[in-house]
Amino acid sequence: MSIFTEEQNGTRHLLMGNEAIVRGAIEAGLDVAAGYPGTPSSEIIETLAKYAEKNNHYVEWSVNEKVALEVAAAGSFSGLRSLAVMKQPGLNVASDFLLHLSASGTRGPMVLLCADDPGALSSINEGETRFYARLMEIPLIEPGNFQEAKDMMKWAFELSEEIRNIVLVRTVTRLSHASGNVTLGERKESVGKAFFKNDGFILDPMEGSVMSAPVAYKHGEQQVKLKRCAEIFEKSPFNVYEGPVNPELLIITSSICDLYSKEAVSLLNAEKRVGILKLGTTFPLPPKLIEQYLAKADKILIVEEVLPFLEESIKVLAAELAPTIGAKQFFGKANGDIPMVNELNPDIVVTALSSILGIEYKEVDEEYKKRASEICFFGSPARETTFCPGCPHRASFFSINKNISMDNRSGFTCGDIGCYSMGMLPGGFSTLKTLHAMGSGTGLASGFGKMTKFGMEQPVVSVCGDSTFFHSAMPPLVNAIHNNSNLTMIVLDNSGTAMTGFQPHPGLEVDATGSEAPKIDIPSVCKGMGVNVEVCDPFDLAKTQETLFKFLESDGVNVLVLKQICALSPEKKGKKMFNMSIDDSVCLGGECGCNKMCTRVLSCPGLIWDRETEKSTINDVICIGCGVCASVCPSGAIKKEEA
């Protein structure tokens, strides 16, 4: 009995935003879906994949986002309904294909769903999807709540069918990863039959070749489609106004900020003074609709997350409309009422509103706040994110850091994206010295390795996860080899895409749906590139360090694959490799010259430093028995016993 396989029209459920999105796509009659994992979007492909067989969908985890978009586009070109899913940085990766796709147009309905992460709750950027709509000249729609997440997703396919171009749907973490009530709708039949027509008249959008040339012609066609969108958007039910007929202040907002705005208005009891125009269609804007509401108020507050996308478009419209609607006073990012970094919340909107409307607002009694802050200072020690107990990355970074220090030539490690990005933090011994986009660690290392020409003698190391290896680290590795660079690339192979929830990748024997699939062996790939490769178990600190020393001191490109399964992987979860214990008679405690190598340095959450006995103890609730601490204790006080 699953809402992802059955009709259940009219029933009401508590769904996560991403689940609502999935249901929307299913109701639209989806055929093909492809994506690459990325928080907060991953559950979409995951859920679709789980039910793919029952629903007769084709669902894949692609090697990266550009390929995902291409695979989905092939579905569309074959006349099917297709969906590509990614987080915002993935859109950057896919953007080159998107530029050409948006000009060539689509056939079967095609939707691109991008999840942004304002506030970087699970990212190292707060990149914006919305500006791509403008740049690529494609329609953008943004659901504002859970019901809309489903409904607008379904509608996106209809819109794409109508204009024959890709439709961009943007969600954000606070919608995708939040849950709310959704009433289900009717399921459309899938298309189910694929055929790529290609022998018609070359300019025929449905039967000719699919391409972005002749450029001026295709570009023109694309802009006609966009104009059509603006017309459709004028009547969209997803653009909603709530409030008095003539509000003192008009809030224009979109996405999850609608709920923040509503909450803020209600906290101030300002329902009679403020109206909210929530836009579901944010590019191209429907000019008549906007004009209608702009005309009603003199003061306009624009509430949106991160950059002033709506704000700027609306101001341009307002300037054009000034002769008819008069001059308006705008509040938002430009005047500083709404910040241009970080996510929003009801409190930020309340603060802006209370200053504009002159209403005083106190979140809580001052005395209480003061006391609670004092208590928190002592009562709530900072909780830094760190590697899980038993994480292979902790052991890997321990070795990397130790070797680079001992090597004593100011060597450094270029980081990459994954759980192992935490190698930047003290819990990862602050080993990583650069951190950018997926694959960039090895790209940077390839460059650093050539700086020898200018006297740089520092050994260069890059790390990269197994999923990242396939996603985008192979080209920079090829680059390094071909250009005779000097670096040690360390592939931290934990048999999955851990950070985003352990999705499979081409290095594994399963695909997205759990079926058997050919696996691509990383060491063989590297060998094929003609480079020296060795594989070690990072839990074997001695062997790992010996190999790494060798690589640090040799010229050219060397690849060290550190292979050990993620502690959270379904395979390992709950199973201890070793039963760990501490021999109290051997542990020298606080007096030991090691100065708490186990707890202070290795700082695995599975260990506790007992302040009373001044000795180390194992936290049995947390320890998963990887055994690494036993290799780290110089006194041999930590014992491991095969579990």
Partner 1 sequence: MPELKYDPYNLIITGVGGQGNVMSSRIIGNMMSLKGFFVTIGETFGASQRGGSVMSHVRISTKETVSPQIPKGKAHMIVSLEPSETIRVLMDYGNPAVQVITNTRPTHPIGVISGQAEYPSDQNIEEWINEISSKAWFFDATEMAVKIGHPIFSNIIMAGALAATNELPLDREIFETIMNTKFNPDKAKSNLEAYDQGVASIV
Partner 2 sequence: MKISGSNELLEQIQNNNLCVGCGACVGICPYFKAHKGKVAMTFSCDRTEGRCYAHCPGTETDYDVLANELFNKPYEEKPIGNYIKIYGAKAGEKAVNGSFQNGGTVTTLMKFAMEKGLIDSAVLTDSIDMIPDPQIVTKSDEIGNFSSTKYMASPTVSKFNEAIKMGHKKIGVVGTPCQMKAIGKIKSNPLDREEFKKPETFLIGLFCTWAVDTKNFIKLLESKTDISKIKSMDIPPPPAEVFILKTETEAIEIPLDDIRKIVPEGCSLCPDMTCEWADISVGAFEGRSGWNTLIVRTKKGEELINSAISEGYLTVEEFPDENVTHLTKGSVGKKKRGLAKREELMKSMDQNDNGSATAPSVVGFR
Which positions lie near partner 2, rule CB under 8 A?
401-402, 405-409, 429, 549, 593-595, 597, 600-601, 632, 634
Q: Report the residue number, 543 or 596, with the smaller CB distance to partner 1.
A: 596
Give which of partner 1, partner 2, ligand TPP, none residue 622 binds (C-beta under 5 to 8 Å, depending on kind): partner 1
Q: Which of 494, 513, 547, 616 binds ligand SF4 (CB under 6 A)?
A: 494
Give which of ligand SF4, partner 1, partner 2, none residue 494 binds (C-beta under 5 to 8 Å, depending on kind): ligand SF4
Please, is 180 exposed, middle or buried when counting C-beta atoms within 10 Å of its C-beta (0-12, 13-18, 19+)?
middle
Q: Report the residue number, 117 or 137, with the smaller CB distance to partner 1.
A: 117
The structure tokens listed for 69 are: 């978009």
Site for ligand TPP contains 438 (CB under 6 A): yes
Q: What mask, x for binding ligand SF4 by CB under 6 A, covers residues 365 to 394?
A: ----------------------xx--x-x-
Q: Report the residue number, 75 or 389, with the smaller CB distance to ligand SF4.
A: 389
Assign 3-class secondary structure to 199-254: CCCCCCCCCCCCCCCCHHHHHHHHHHHHHHHHHHHHCCCCCEEECCCCCCEEEEEE
Q: Report the residue number, 87 or 394, with the smaller CB distance to ligand TPP.
A: 87
DSSP label at 66?
Answer: H
Q: Which of 35, 90, 108, 504 binds ligand TPP (CB under 6 A)?
A: 90
- Type and span of the H or E element at 33: strand 32-35
Torsion of CA 351, 353, 357, 360, to 10 degrees: -30
Site for ligand TPP contains 129 (CB under 6 A): no
Site for ligand TPP contains 38 (CB under 6 A): yes
Backbone CA torsion sign across 101, 103, 104, 106: positive
Q: Which of 71, 178, 344, 568 binds ligand SF4 (CB under 6 A)?
A: 568
- From residue 310, alpha-carbon distances to 329, 349, 402 in Å are 15, 16, 50
Site for ligand SF4 contains 404 (CB under 6 A): no
Give which of ligand TPP, partner 2, partner 1, none residue 604 binds (C-beta under 5 to 8 Å, depending on kind): partner 1
Alpha-carbon gap, residue 37 to 47, rounded angstroms: 12
Site for ligand SF4 contains 257 (CB under 6 A): no
Q: Report the residue number, 60 or 311, with the smaller CB distance to ligand TPP.
A: 60
Alpha-carbon gap, residue 77 to 430, rounded angstroms: 48
Q: Report the residue number, 29 or 465, with the smaller CB distance to ligand TPP.
A: 465
Site residues, partner 1 (CB under 8 A): 1, 12-14, 39-40, 121-122, 145-147, 173-175, 177-181, 256, 259-260, 262-263, 267, 345-347, 350, 363-365, 368-369, 371-373, 375-376, 378-388, 419, 422, 426-427, 499, 596, 599-601, 603-605, 607-609, 619, 621-622
Site for ligand TPP contains 625 (CB under 6 A): no
| Cβ 166 vs Cβ 98: under 8 Å | yes
Give which of ligand SF4, ligand TPP, partner 1, none residue 567 binds (C-beta under 5 to 8 Å, depending on kind): ligand SF4
* 3-class DSSP state of 67: helix
Give residues with Cβ within 8 angstroms of 312, minimum separation 6: none
DSSP label at 497?
Answer: B
Give which of partner 2, ligand TPP, ligand SF4, none residue 40 binds (C-beta under 5 to 8 Å, depending on kind): none
Q: How far is the CB of 472 from ligand TPP (least distance, A)?
A: 7
Q: Which of 253, 494, 513, 547 binds ligand TPP (CB under 6 A)?
A: 494
Q: How far is the CB of 572 from ligand SF4 (least distance, A)?
A: 9
* Helix, strand, coil percentages, rounded to 5, for the chain: 40, 20, 40
| Cβ 466 vs Cβ 493: under 8 Å | yes
Q: Report the residue number, 532 or 617, with the smaller CB distance to partner 1.
A: 617
DSSP label at 572?
Answer: T
Q: DSSP string of 522-533?
A: HHHHHHHTT-EE
| Cβ 535 vs Cβ 563: under 8 Å | yes
Within 255-356, strands assigned E span 274-279, 281-283, 299-303, 329-331
Alpha-carbon gap, residue 502 to 39, rounded angstroms: 12
Q: Report the residue number, 401 or 486, with the smaller CB distance to partner 2.
A: 401
- From residue 597, alpha-carbon distances to 487, 506, 510 in Å are 30, 38, 39
Q: Report the residue number, 42 or 547, with the smaller CB distance to partner 1.
A: 42
Site for ligand TPP contains 547 (CB under 6 A): no
Number of residues in the chain: 643
Q: Report the residue number, 41 or 222, with the smaller CB distance to partner 1.
A: 41
Site for ligand TPP contains 275 (CB under 6 A): no
Give residues with Cβ within 8 angstroms of 63, minimum separation 6: 36, 470, 471, 505, 506
Site for ligand TPP contains 163 (CB under 6 A): no
Q: Report the residue number, 407 or 614, with the smaller CB distance to partner 1.
A: 614
- List phi, psi (to 5°) of 462: -125, 150
Site for ligand TPP contains 395 (CB under 6 A): no
Give which of partner 1, partner 2, ligand TPP, none residue 90 binds (C-beta under 5 to 8 Å, depending on kind): ligand TPP
DSSP label at 602?
Answer: I
Site for ligand TPP contains 418 (CB under 6 A): yes
Q: How far is the CB of 491 from ligand SF4 (least distance, A)?
A: 13
Site for ligand SF4 contains 562 (CB under 6 A): no
Closest of 18, 42, 89, 21 to residue 499, by C-alpha: 42
| Cβ 523 vs Cβ 494: under 8 Å | no
Closest of 46, 44, 36, 53 to residue 20, by C-alpha: 44
- How far is C-alpha 254 from the geometric centre of its chain's CA atoms? 20
Residues in binding contact with ligand TPP, number by CB under 6 A: 24
Q: Report the residue number, 302 or 388, with the smaller CB distance to partner 1.
A: 388
Give which of ligand SF4, partner 1, partner 2, none residue 363 binds (C-beta under 5 to 8 Å, depending on kind): partner 1
Alpha-carbon gap, residue 628 to 637, rounded angstroms: 13
Alpha-carbon gap, residue 479 to 627, rounded angstroms: 38
* Residues that bind ligand SF4 in the complex, under the rule CB under 6 A: 387-388, 391, 393, 419, 494, 498, 566-568
* Residues that bind ligand TPP in the complex, under the rule CB under 6 A: 36-38, 65, 87, 89-90, 93, 417-420, 438, 465-468, 492, 494, 496-500
